[in-house]
Amino acid sequence: MEANDPENDNLIFVITLGNTGDAFQMNARSGDLFTTKALDFETNSTYTLKISASDGKLSSTADITINDESSLMTLEGKAQKGPFLNGTSVTISELDEDYTLTGRDFNTLIIDNSGAFEIPGIELSGDYVTFTVNGFYFNEVCGEFSNSPIILSGIGDVGETILKNLNVITHLEKARVEYLLAQGSSFSEAKKQAQQEVLNIFHIDDNIGASETLDLTEDAVLIALSAILQGYRSEGQFSQLMANIITDIREDGTLDNRSVGEDLYSHAKVLNTKSILMNIENYYDDIGQSLTLSEEGFKPIIDNFLQETEFQKDTSIINYSRFGRNGSANLLFDALGDGFQSTFISLSANLPNPCMKLKIVMRADEDNACYQVPNPVNVIQNHCFSKLERVLPDRKGVDFSIERNVLIMEADGTTTDMYVDLSTLIEDSGGFLQRPAIESGKYIIEYYEGNTTDDGEINDEPVRTRTIVLGIDDPDCTNCELDE
């Protein structure tokens, strides 16, 4: 024990409290502390001594604690949404036997870019803790670091395992576990029930082990749920979604909020599992670690959710507005009806995230390619999109290509807009040029939505397809004539 006197007077050190069984002795002059016998840590796991230092006029006290080093533990784990980044803050908080916070917190930092952390040499009064991570992470859907920090948490029994991983499942189940504990469930019962209720949201029946033992590098269920919950959401949207699910399931363990369920479905159906796996493989390769994951491992989990969920809805997370930036009608807008006449149109979309890609394939129907309404005129051009080469320069974030009767638009960026002249030149029976008319006919529009792999591949199949008839108010094209 060390102490300083401002006047450099000699100090006297004395043990005033806590010396159970006179197990300790202190040198009054030097402050050195000794044991007088072997300490019985089976009877007393901790000795807390109050020491007084006095110069005869003033005194000061301090507490010191002596533990059996064999009773100390090291808590370790990984914080993974995707992996949290090196230097991120992790806090473990002690709970008493009633699962109430004792006020003792243990803080540490993540030590590498796999999200690994450890807190060595701590002693807990019980077996239960909460743990929290707050920081930036690797977004496995977009293949980039997050722009803002998020918080993930969990609750665990260190008597069961000292490995305490943090992930989306530990976060979603925590409030439900606490609710069940308050209703009288045992800790193991509450954990098991809450975890299964979280998995039920995604129609997963597998026995996956304790949530805090799961690792993103080897557990397919964890990567599938992480990807679905991330989707193409911003960090704020992700945090709000997680909070909404937690609130909804806290008391009854079921997800009843249909808008939340539909949001999960809408993002999940456009996930590109090849791209997600490639992003994760590249990340762990860069930090010198390996994976035991495969697309065949986690893709069926996502596909099963899409097939079995009661929250299926034919909506897109991309906003196709009624009009483009220049005020022309947006051909991609679902409510644009048959018989549309204007030759100037927009192909416009607002994507939820810069990492999301969009490809639009617009083709003339195989049986009804580029019609005109019967009248005494002759068509100068003889194929669909005949003037697309003269696309106006007002296009943002769009690449396009054309083949006979097929237009392909590929969009990259949060706001994309392509303003085109979709017309053909006509002449009357006397050979005089008339005002251009829209290339009438039945068109099929295919929407390919999602992120891409390194080779530029978006999801193999369109997420939806719609048919529209342009130029004539005749959805069945009963009066159409084929433009040969």
Dihedral sign for Cα 35, 37, 38, 43, please: negative
Using pLDDT thresholds of 50, 70 and 90, give the confidence band for residue 391. very low
Give the HSE-up count for residue 91: Cα atoms under 13 Å, Cβ half-sphere.
13
If you average pLDDT over residues 156-174, what whole number do you get?
87
The DSSP secondary structure of 263-331, one letter per residue, reads HHHHHHTT--HHHHHHHHHHHHHHTT------HHHHHHHHHHHHHH-TT-----SSB--SB-TTS-BBT
Q: Is the pLDDT of residue 435 over 60?
A: no
If you average pLDDT over residues 392-406, what whole number do you get?
60
Q: Which residue has the higher pLDDT, 82 or 451?
A: 82
Q: Which residues contact 249 (CB under 8 A, 6 or more apart)?
A: 172, 176, 197, 198, 201, 255
In 422-455 the beta strands, taken as DSSP E runs, fall at 423-424, 426-428, 437-438, 441-450
Single-letter code of the amino acid located at 469 = V
DSSP H helices, 38-153, are none
Q: Is the pLDDT of residue 452 over 80?
A: no
Helix (H) or strand (E) holding 385: none
How deeply is 289 buried, as exposed, middle or buried, from its count of CB atoms within 10 A (0-12, 13-18, 19+)?
middle
Alpha-carbon distance of 366 to 444, in angstroms, equals 9
Q: Which residue has the tokens 């069961």?
A: 160
Single-letter code of the amino acid located at 201 = I
For 214-269, the pLDDT digits (tens) are 999 999 999 999 999 999 999 999 999 999 999 999 999 999 999 999 999 999 99
Q: Is the pLDDT of residue 157 over 60?
A: yes
Alpha-carbon distance of 459 to 394, in angstroms, equals 28
Classify 12-69 by CATH class: mainly beta
Q: Is the pLDDT of residue 65 over 90?
A: no
Q: Which two tokens stand for residue 263?
A: 């949001």
Do 284 and 138 touch, CB atoms closer than 8 A?
Answer: no
* Residue 92 DSSP SS3: strand
The whole-chain average pLDDT of the chain stands at: 82
Alpha-carbon distance of 83 to 138, in angstroms, equals 6
> How far is the CA of 376 from the CAs of 343, 373, 427, in angstroms?
20, 10, 9
Using pLDDT thresholds of 50, 70 and 90, give the confidence band for residue 349. confident
Alpha-carbon distance of 201 to 270, in angstroms, equals 19
> How far is the CA of 444 from the CAs of 11, 398, 405, 464, in angstroms?
93, 20, 11, 11
Q: Which residue has the higher pLDDT, 436 or 372?
A: 436
If you average pLDDT over residues 150-158, what whole number do you get?
95
Q: What percentage of residues in the chain have a pLDDT greater than 70? A: 79
Q: Break the chain down into helix, strand, coil percent, rounded to 5.
A: 20, 35, 45
Question: Where do you find CATH 2.60.40.60 in the chain?
Answer: 12-69
Single-letter code of the amino acid located at 468 = I
Give the HSE-up count for residue 480: Cα atoms under 13 Å, Cβ half-sphere.
26
Do 443 and 468 touch, CB atoms closer than 8 A?
Answer: yes
Alpha-carbon distance of 276 to 278, in angstroms, equals 5
Top-confidence range, 159-173, 364-378, 460-474: 159-173
Q: Is the pLDDT of residue 135 over 90?
A: yes
Single-letter code of the amino acid located at 429 = S
If you average pLDDT over residues 116-121, what whole number do you get?
90
If you average pLDDT over residues 54-73, what whole number do you get?
79
For 365-386, the pLDDT digits (tens) are 655 444 433 333 333 334 455 4
**Residue 18 backbone class (left: φ over 0; alpha: ψ -120 to 50; beta: rest):** left
Q: Is the pLDDT of residue 25 over 70?
A: yes
For 262-308, the pLDDT digits (tens) are 999 999 999 999 999 999 999 999 999 988 888 899 999 999 999 99
If you average pLDDT over residues 386-396, what whole number do you get?
46
Taken as a whole, the chain contains a residue count of 484
pLDDT at res. 286:
95
For 89-102, the pLDDT digits (tens) are 999 999 999 999 99
If you average pLDDT over residues 442-452, what whole number do you get?
83
Alpha-carbon distance of 241 to 234, in angstroms, equals 10
pLDDT at res. 164:
84
DSSP H helices, 63-219, are 168-182, 187-201
Q: Which residue has the higher pLDDT, 471 or 381?
A: 471
pTM: 0.77
Q: Is the pLDDT of residue 389 over 50?
A: no
Using pLDDT thresholds of 50, 70 and 90, give the confidence band for residue 463. confident
Do 194 and 239 touch, CB atoms closer than 8 A?
Answer: no
Q: Is the pLDDT of residue 194 over 90?
A: yes
